[in-house]
Amino acid sequence: MKLTYQPFELKLKHPFTIAKFSRTATPLMLLQITHDGHTGYGEASMVPYMGESVETATAFLNQVDLSAFKSPFDFSDITTYLDSLAPGNPAIKAAIDIALHDLDGKLKQQPCWQLLGSNPQLMPVTSFTIGIDAPDVIRQKVQEAENFKVIKVKLGRDTDKELIQTIRSVTNVPLYADANQGWVDKEKALNLIYWLHEQGVQLIEQPMLKTDIDGNAWLTERSPIPLIADEAVQRLPDVEKAKGVYNGINIKLMKSAGMHEAQQMIIKARQLDLKILIGCMSETSCATLAAAALAPQCDWADIDGPFLTTNNPYKNPEFRDGKYVLSDDAGLGLSL
Ligand code: MG
């Protein structure tokens, strides 16, 4: 098996502002694994607040030797091997896992979604995320989102109500909200949650600091809409900790170290009666098609990555009625 990779800077249509950060581009590592005449494609999206970079990804890849693994791949063994090389590094581990899933599908001549047991009929709609911005820009972004059935808004500043009111002045589509740990006072947060509920917000991600377990649990007990752990849940062992603190979890391949562990998290969350949102970082079609292959096993999807960028190196995923359309092509169904 031959592994090749190259850094890529993914540019965003709009500077992306959330409660704590703002950025205009995201460093990626695009990765290919070739075996037996087939090439699997993977991708790491290294958003700055997660601590990975082109440098850390390169250092990790320099340690990787996949020669011991043969098709059909044992993804559980591969995950254990990658974790044995170094802790952390979930995005670059995800890139390898995604490329191997794509390759596995191509070698078996089956789409990844089928190999993972997903039913395309159950594909949820994907939300389109709008970052914090001036009202004029917000209105423009809402217009760009006309193909989406749900809009996700980034909250967590003093201007949360104005932002929602601006959106509501142009559209009535259902909303998801993400506070990105930005709410500090739980009583105030609860009042805002009731108001957001009236405004048609259907779920809220990470209301308070991930370390404030009591605060988040207090809110979940009282909230009229589901509260979802994002920053608080990265990998499989974190799923259990969400029980009793949140109503559900947000799974992202760049946190879970790939598709294999994401599916383990889905199984665990179902056992614990937790709802599941599948999300993404700033990603090309490659990583979002990998998430889309698992999305039918989740309650909600927020995999709008390629639609928020200007230089996606692949063809944009097929999208209809606000949903990804899963391809019958072998592997991820990625078109170069
Ligand atoms: Mg989030």
Contact 150, 129 (CB under 8 A): no
Q: What number of CA atoms fall less than 13 Å from residue 182's CA on the CB side?
A: 20
Ligand 1 centroid to residue 318 C-alpha, Å? 24
Instruction: Report pLDDT for 174.
Output: 97
d(CA 109, CA 95): 21
Third-level CATH fold of 2-109: Enolase-like; domain 1 (3.30.390)
d(CA 15, CA 202): 25
Dump pLDDT digits (tens) for 116-160: 999 999 999 999 998 878 889 888 889 888 889 999 999 988 889
Distances (CA, A) of 62 to 43, 86, 184, 250: 16, 12, 42, 30
- The domain ranges of the chain are 2-109, 114-324
Cβ atoms within 10 Å, residue 59: 13
Third-level CATH fold of 114-324: TIM Barrel (3.20.20)
Instruction: Report pLDDT for 254.
Output: 98
Ligand 1 centroid to residue 35 C-alpha, Å? 36
Ligand 1 centroid to residue 328 C-alpha, Å? 30
Mark the ranges of the chain whose per-residue pLDDT is less than 70. Answer: 17-21
Ligand 1 centroid to residue 230 C-alpha, Å? 5
Determine the Cα angle at 274 with ends 273 and 280, to 5°: 150
Ligand 1 centroid to residue 152 C-alpha, Å? 10
- The token pair that represents 282 in the structure block: 């700033």
Cβ atoms within 10 Å, residue 209: 15
Ligand 1 centroid to residue 30 C-alpha, Å? 23
Ligand 1 centroid to residue 285 C-alpha, Å? 19
E-strand ranges in 192-318 read 201-205, 227-229, 248-252, 275-279, 300-302
Ligand 1 centroid to residue 118 C-alpha, Å? 24
d(CA 331, CA 323): 19
Contact 269, 247 (CB under 8 A): no
Ligand 1 centroid to residue 105 C-alpha, Å? 30
